[in-house]
């Protein structure tokens, strides 16, 4: 009987991938609980099992007023304890094995958040998709699925990114994602040995699932081209990633510490003429040729949006024509402001009305003003002449109580 029980436990441990010592511990705890339910049992007692002979013994000690064990250990094994053990073993052992399996599965996946797993689609509907990972099932919620792509078909193999491992009474619940940017990073690690070896580092990733992804890569070896390593021979490596993402476009950008270069490259495939950085506002103003403006912005602003997420800079894209128009408008405004500041005066020698600019430049007659004296501005608005006597009278007049006094 002892050999049969030992062999049965060994076989059970191997089939469930549980250490044999753990099974003995589960069984001992179950028998201890069974003993304490017996009448006249000791409060402080424990069960030992000899693995060689499968001899089961119960030992006990007395407890003092403080609940501490003291005195000699007594062998208090009941005469009919073998029958009790036989009745208890199967029920409690299987329950303990299930709990141990759930705990082992949780511990196995608890440290794998942020990793990629491959499974087979078991069931899919409008709420979630179940993916069989072998020992457990993973949950792919609708919010973590690419809305632009087709719904996964049952039986299809799928790679997903582990975002959370929850511990429940029914075992571990693994939540995976197909939209997380980490999925792209892990796929490139699988396809590009230089990334797995640490020679090429994936610095940043910006993604709009199902549409486009931009990644920034950097090489720690000057002899290794980071973009070429990720693209592969004839695009073989990046093609594998694109196929796994169901045709999602991937732009590979060389990372650069210089924000001017990094922002310019991040707007690829558009060609950038100039980048202006304002560190106080965190804004990068990008100048592009007129024919590159729509390409730089992208469809519904997608290219500019991804470049912003990739670089961290707020990007303002302008064409050369827009920049020139803004510069001209600013110059006109400055000229207008310059000539707008001043006052009408009367020349004491001639008695002629003139406009005296606030910048101290030469006074201008009414005819010169109306003729467009402001750098030849022919569109200058006509100014009605004002009588000199009116100007003098207005200067000498004292303000009334109804009128506010002005300087």
Average pLDDT over residues 373-377: 48
CATH for 116-177 is 2.40.50.140
**C-alpha atoms less than 13 angstroms from C-alpha of 37 in its C-beta half-sphere:** 10
Average pLDDT over residues 43-49: 85
Q: What pLDDT does 155 receive? A: 86
- Inter-residue contact 5 to 31 (CB < 8 Å): no
At a CB cut-off of 8 Å and minimum separation 6, what does 309 contact? 206, 214
pLDDT, tens digit (0-9, with 9 covering 90-100), for 96-140: 777 877 887 888 888 888 899 999 998 888 788 889 888 788 889
Pairing of the two strands 314-319 and 283-288: parallel
**C-alpha atoms less than 13 angstroms from C-alpha of 215 in its C-beta half-sphere:** 27
pLDDT, tens digit (0-9, with 9 covering 90-100), for 269-305: 999 999 999 999 999 999 999 999 999 999 989 999 9
For residue 362, give both structure tokens.
């030469």
- CA torsion sign for 147, 149, 152, 157 is negative
The residue among 298, 247, 250 whose CA lies nearest residue 270 is 298
Q: What pLDDT does 393 receive? A: 46
Domain with CATH 3.30.1480.10 in the chain: 2-110
Q: What pLDDT does 322 receive? A: 86
CA 109 from centre of chain: 21
The answer as to CATH 3.30.200.20 being correct for domain 257-338 is no
* Whole-number Å distance between alpha carbons of 212 and 206: 9
Residue 385: is its pLDDT beyond 90? no
Q: What does the DSSP assignment read for 190-253?
A: HH-HHHHTTSEEEEEEEEETTTEEEEEEEESSTTS-HHHHHH-GGGHHHHHHHHHTTT-EEEEE
Q: What pLDDT does 238 receive? A: 94
Domain with CATH 2.40.50.140 in the chain: 116-177
pTM of the model: 0.64
pLDDT, tens digit (0-9, with 9 covering 90-100), for 49-76: 877 777 788 888 888 888 888 888 888 8
Higher pLDDT, 386 or 31: 31
* Whole-number Å distance between alpha carbons of 157 and 132: 9
CATH superfamily of 2-110: NusA, N-terminal domain (3.30.1480.10)
């Amino acid at each position: 009987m002892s050999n049969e029980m030992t062999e049965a436990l060994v076989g059970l441990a191997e089939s469930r991938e549980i250490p044999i010592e753990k099974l003995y511990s589960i069984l001992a705890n179950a028998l201890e609980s069974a003993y304490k339910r017996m009448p006249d049992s000791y409060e402080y007692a424990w069960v030992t099992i000899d693995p060689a002979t499968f001899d089961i013994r119960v030992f006990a000690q007395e407890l003092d007023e403080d609940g501490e064990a003291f005195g000699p250990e007594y062998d208090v094994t009941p005469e009919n304890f073998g029958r009790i053990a036989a009745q208890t073993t199967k029920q409690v052992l299987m329950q303990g094995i299930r709990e141990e399996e759930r705990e082992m599965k949780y511990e196995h996946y608890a440290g794998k958040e942020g990793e990629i797993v491959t499974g087979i689609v078991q069931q899919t509907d409008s709420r979630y998709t179940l993916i069989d990972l072998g020992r457990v099932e993973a949950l792919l919620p609708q919010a973590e699925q690419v809305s632009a792509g087709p719904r996964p078909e049952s039986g299809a193999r799928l790679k997903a990114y582990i975002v959370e491992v929850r511990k429940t009474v029914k075992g571990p619940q693994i939540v995976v994602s197909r939209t997380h940017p980490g999925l792209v990073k892990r796929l490139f690690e699988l396809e590009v040995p230089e990334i797995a070896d640490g020679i090429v580092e994936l610095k940043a990733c910006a993604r709009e699932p199902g549409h486009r992804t931009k990644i920034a890569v950097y090489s720690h070896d000057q002899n290794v081209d980071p973009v070429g390593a990720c693209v592969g021979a004839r695009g073989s490596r990046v093609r594998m990633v694109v196929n796994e993402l169901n045709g999602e476009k991937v732009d590979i950008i060389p990372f650069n510490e210089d924000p001017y270069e990094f922002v310019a490259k991040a707007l690829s495939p558009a060609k950038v003429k100039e980048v202006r950085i304002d560190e106080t506002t965190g804004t990068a103003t990008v100048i592009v040729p007129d024919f590159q403006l729509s390409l730089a912005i992208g469809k519904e602003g997608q290219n500019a949006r991804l470049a912003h997420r990739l670089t961290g800079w707020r990007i303002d894209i302008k064409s050369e024509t827009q920049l020139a128009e803004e510069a001209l408008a600013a110059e006109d405004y400055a000229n207008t402001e310059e000539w707008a500041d001043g006052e009408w005066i009367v020349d004491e020698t001639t008695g002629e009305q003139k406009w005296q600019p606030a910048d101290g430049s030469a006074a201008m007659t009414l005819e010169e003003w109306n003729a467009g004296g402001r750098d030849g501005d022919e569109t200058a608005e006509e100014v009605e002449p004002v009588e000199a006597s009116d100007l003098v009278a207005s200067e000498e007049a004292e303000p009334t109580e109804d009128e506010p006094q002005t300087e």
